Amino acid sequence: MNEVRFMVNGQPVEVTVSARLSLADLLRDRLGLTGTHLGCEHGVCGACSVLVDGRSVRACLMLAVQAEGRMITTVEGLHRDGRWRDLQQAMAERHALQCGFCTPGFLVCAAELLGQPGPLDETGVREALSGNVCRCTGYASIVQAVLDTARGRSSTPP
């Protein structure tokens, strides 16, 4: 067993884990952060995406012990951080989800994308979100929601 200390959504966490436990299982089963969804569990669908030190990572492919000293943000952390209300609002207005299973992964990866400097276009959004699978929406509404958010931010003075 291994002691691991890291931050999740701004809160310090200290847990003892087996060397084989995935970060996704730790977040969901031990920390109750069930917004991190598990679909394929082998790095294909993107539903389990979380931010690790600001970069999106598939939590099903990362071991919990690798979280030592890191800053993890899950979809629940985005919800608590008011900066992402515009993205959530745009997703709702564009009807960018149906069953919602993929939505946490899309929100996390879109948050990473929107946090980067420079203008966004449809091609860039589609490319950035190409690692996230949705079986319901056809993607167009998700892409438009991200573009709406980017447009809203560029027209809002800092």
Among 91, 102, 107, 145, binds ligand FES (CB under 6 A): 102
C-beta of 22: minimal distance to ligand FES in Å? Answer: 9
- 2 and 18 Cβ atoms separated by less than 8 Å: yes
Among 41, 71, 86, 153, binds ligand FES (CB under 6 A): 41
- Tell me which stretch binds ligand FES (CB under 6 A): 12-20, 71-79, 86-94, 97-105: 97-105
Handedness of CA 88, 122, 131, 4 (dihedral sign): negative
C-beta of 49: minimal distance to ligand FES in Å? Answer: 7
Query: Is 45 exposed, middle or buried, given 0-12, 13-18 or 19+ CB atoms closer than 10 A?
Result: buried
Instruction: Find all residues with CB under 8 Å of 56, minimum gap 6, and list them.
Output: 49, 50, 108, 109, 112
* Residue list 45-84, contact with ligand FES (CB under 6 A): 45-48, 58, 60
- Tell me which stretch binds ligand FES (CB under 6 A): 11-19, 81-89, 118-126, 132-140: 132-140
Nearer Cβ to ligand FES (147/153): 147
C-beta of 14: minimal distance to ligand FES in Å? Answer: 25
CA distances from 26 to 35, 38, 39, 62 (A): 12, 12, 16, 10
Phi and psi based region of residue 8 (left: phi greater than 0; alpha: psi -120 to 50; beta: remaining): beta
Site residues for ligand FES per CB under 6 A: 38-41, 43-48, 58, 60, 97-102, 134-137
